[in-house]
């Protein structure tokens, strides 16, 4: 049976401008029309029954679907479990949470384990009720022990072109993003190799000096992994990784906006420096996301979740239990930015950071990815490529 085209009505459309009582029309997996109530009413009246499905946003928001470029797990599973069940459960949870696409992220692990999860993602075929798996974010193992955070120390190693070639042979263009520390032996060669193949490189878990970070940027680094966290901080006589990120135009700056990892004041500093246009909200979610406080795993580490914050036994933060929608709410309600700007950082910016030119925003011609939100920011529907992937009814 052919899928119906969609008419989304009776909601504030979050696009280049906010459109109260707006209307969005999709044909197949593309957005064909974005407009106001008057034109929307004409389209609705002219719609051929049985061809179009009319979705009523009930006075809420018709927003772009969220994209998470850095998450490890949710709903009791993580990528490093290495099973199709794990990936499918994560993808379904994300669809219910308003996320339409994501990069499952590794943690530092033995080479054979990393190859295994790479093969899992390469072979994975999703279904219509799941967020799309865009590829892999390789977080580690080419990082600095000093800033390992919750990464598994014994598996940290120098950058290895042979290992990268093997992973690339498995994943191809599904190897989307690699986090490394540019001061680690072999990293500059690895950055150049990755750049040649169009693979995004991010600085993270790094003790680089300002000069070493800038050398990494010149070699091809374009992202910063969970800015502020897991990196040498800013000092007025040694600006460090953070100073390099804040001072350099064109770097995509990831941010965990759970208000535990980064203080709202520090978030405002980042926005002043990088601008709304370059900040990418991420969840850095672990398997405890969507579940009660308790004991869970992150790769080879046991983690403990209390009051929603995930930590190792020694107290280090170990990812988050954040959803992308919660991050958007925090940015609006606690940091004080507009809903448009918060959604941009959770949809358009992540898409652009990965080179996805037709994703992440409600514009005619773009892919039809939406989250329909109530006025209180609960998910009513998630629409992926013009199909309803999740509905609360």
Structural domain total, the chain? 2
Please tell me whether residues 33 and 72 are part of one structural domain. Answer: no
Q: For residue 37, is pLDDT > 50?
A: yes
Please tell me whether residues 151 and 210 are part of one structural domain. Answer: yes
DSSP secondary structure, 313-360, as one string: TTS-B--B---HHHHHHHIIIII---HHHHHHHHTHHHHHHTT-TT-S
Token code pair at residue 68: 């998470």
Please tell me whether residues 43 and 113 are part of one structural domain. Answer: no
Please tell me whether residues 241 and 371 are part of one structural domain. Answer: no
What is the spatial distance between Cα 2 and Cα 386, in angstroms, rounded to a whole number?
12
What average pLDDT does the chain have? 96
Query: Using alpha carbons only, how large is the chain's radius of gyration in Å?
Result: 21
Give the pLDDT score at 47. Answer: 78
Q: For residue 46, is pLDDT > 90?
A: no
Give the pLDDT score at 51. Answer: 87
Buried b (16+ CB within 10 A) or exposed e, 238-268: ebbbbbbbbebeebbbbbbbbbbbbeeeebe
Domain with 291, as residue range(s), is 66-353
Q: For 98-144, what is each residue's pLDDT tens digit?
A: 999 999 999 999 999 999 999 999 999 999 999 999 999 999 999 99
Confidence bin at 328 (pLDDT 50/70/90): very high
Q: For residue 300, is pLDDT > 90?
A: no
Q: For residue 353, is pLDDT > 60?
A: yes
Please tell me whether residues 120 and 220 are part of one structural domain. Answer: yes
Q: For residue 48, is pLDDT > 80?
A: no
Please tell me whether residues 188 and 325 are part of one structural domain. Answer: yes
Please tell me whether residues 251 and 154 are part of one structural domain. Answer: yes
Confidence bin at 70 (pLDDT 50/70/90): very high
What's the CATH code of the domain at 81?
Answer: 3.20.20.140
Name the maximum alpha-carbon separation found in the chain. 68
* Residue 92: φ, ψ to 5°: -70, -40
Give the pLDDT score at 2. Answer: 52
Global pTM?
A: 0.97
What's the CATH code of the domain at 374?
Answer: 2.30.40.10
Please tell me whether residues 148 and 284 are part of one structural domain. Answer: yes
Name the residue with tokens 């504030």: 12
Percent of the chain with pLDDT over 70: 99
Give the pLDDT score at 351. Answer: 98
Token code pair at residue 201: 């490189």
| Higher local confidence (pLDDT), 96 or 393 | 96
Do the Cβ atoms of 198 and 206 come closer than 8 Å?
no
Length of the chain: 393
Please tell me whether residues 225 and 326 are part of one structural domain. Answer: yes
Q: For residue 1, is pLDDT > 50?
A: no
DSSP secondary structure, 195-248, as one string: HHTT-EEEE-SB---HHHHHHHHHHT--EETTTTTTB---BTTB-HHHHHHHH-
Do the Cβ atoms of 217 and 253 come closer than 8 Å?
no
Please tell me whether residues 173 and 318 are part of one structural domain. Answer: yes
CA distances from 185 to 111, 132, 152, 356, 383 (A): 17, 35, 18, 31, 44
Rounded mean pLDDT, 169-183: 98
Closest alpha carbon to 62 in 17, 127, 3: 17
Q: For residue 329, is pLDDT > 50?
A: yes
Determine whether 16 is an active site residue. Answer: no
Mean pLDDT: which of 28-42, 210-224, 292-306 is highest?
210-224
Q: For 73-96, what is each residue's pLDDT tens digit?
A: 999 999 999 999 999 999 999 999
Q: For 204-260, what is each residue's pLDDT tens digit?
A: 999 999 999 999 999 999 999 999 999 999 999 999 999 999 999 999 999 999 999
Which residues lie across from 77 on neighbouring strands? 74
Percent of the chain with pLDDT over 90: 92
| Of 207, 258, 284, 369, catalytic | 284
Please tell me whether residues 190 and 115 are part of one structural domain. Answer: yes
Sign for the pseudo-dihedral over CA of 267, 19, 98, 176: negative
Q: For 271-294, what is each residue's pLDDT tens digit?
A: 999 999 999 999 999 999 999 999
Give the pLDDT score at 112. Answer: 97
Three-class SS of residue 91? helix
Q: For residue 38, is pLDDT > 70?
A: yes
Give the pLDDT score at 312. Answer: 92
What is the spatial distance between Cα 282 and Cα 275, in angstroms, rounded to a whole number?
16
Please tell me whether residues 289 and 382 are part of one structural domain. Answer: no
């Amino acid at each position: 049976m052919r899928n119906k085209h969609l008419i989304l009505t009776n909601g504030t459309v979050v696009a280049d401008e906010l459109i109260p009582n707006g209307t969005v029309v999709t044909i197949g997996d593309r957005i064909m029309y974005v407009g106001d109530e008057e034109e929307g009413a004409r389209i609705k009246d002219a719609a051929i029954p049985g061809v179009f499905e009319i979705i009523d946003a009930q006075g809420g928001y018709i927003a772009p679907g969220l994209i998470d470029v850095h998450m490890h797990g949710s709903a009791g599973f993580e990528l490093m479990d290495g099973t199709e069940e794990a990936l499918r459960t994560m993808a379904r949870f994300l669809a219910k949470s308003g996320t339409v696409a994501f990069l499952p992220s590794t943690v530092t692990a033995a080479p054979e384990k990393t190859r295994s999860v790479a093969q899992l993602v390469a072979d994975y075929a999703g279904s219509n009720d799941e967020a799309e798996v865009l590829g892999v974010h390789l977080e580690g193992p080419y990082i600095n022990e000093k800033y390992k955070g919750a990464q598994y120390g014994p598996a940290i190693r120098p950058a290895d072109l042979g290992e990268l070639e093997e992973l690339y042979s498995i994943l191809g263009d599904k190897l989307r993003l690699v986090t490394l520390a540019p001061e680690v032996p072999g990293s500059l060669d690895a950055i150049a190799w990755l750049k040649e193949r169009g693979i995004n490189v991010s600085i993270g878990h790094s003790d680089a000096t300002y000069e070493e970070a800038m050398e990494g940027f010149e070699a091809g680094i374009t992202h910063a992994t969970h800015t502020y966290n897991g990196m040498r901080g800013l000092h007025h006589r040694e600006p460090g990784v953070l100073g390099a990120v804040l001072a350099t135009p064109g770097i995509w700056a990831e941010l965990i906006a759970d208000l535990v990892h980064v203080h709202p004041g520090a978030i405002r500093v980042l926005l002043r420096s990088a601008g709304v246009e370059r900040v990418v909200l991420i969840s850095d979610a672990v398997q405890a996301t969507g579940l009660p406080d308790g004991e869970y795993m992150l790769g080879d580490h046991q983690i403990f979740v209390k009051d929603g914050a995930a930590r190792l036994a020694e107290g280090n933060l170990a990812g988050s239990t954040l959803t992308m929608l919660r991050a958007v709410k925090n940015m609006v309600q606690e940091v004080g930015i507009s809903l448009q700007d918060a959604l941009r950082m959770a949809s358009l910016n992540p898409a652009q950071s990965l080179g996805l030119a037709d994703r992440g925003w409600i514009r005619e011609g773009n892919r039809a990815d939406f989250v329909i939100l109530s006025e209180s920011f609960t998910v009513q529907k998630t629409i992926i490529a013009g199909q309803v992937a999740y509905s609360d009814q």
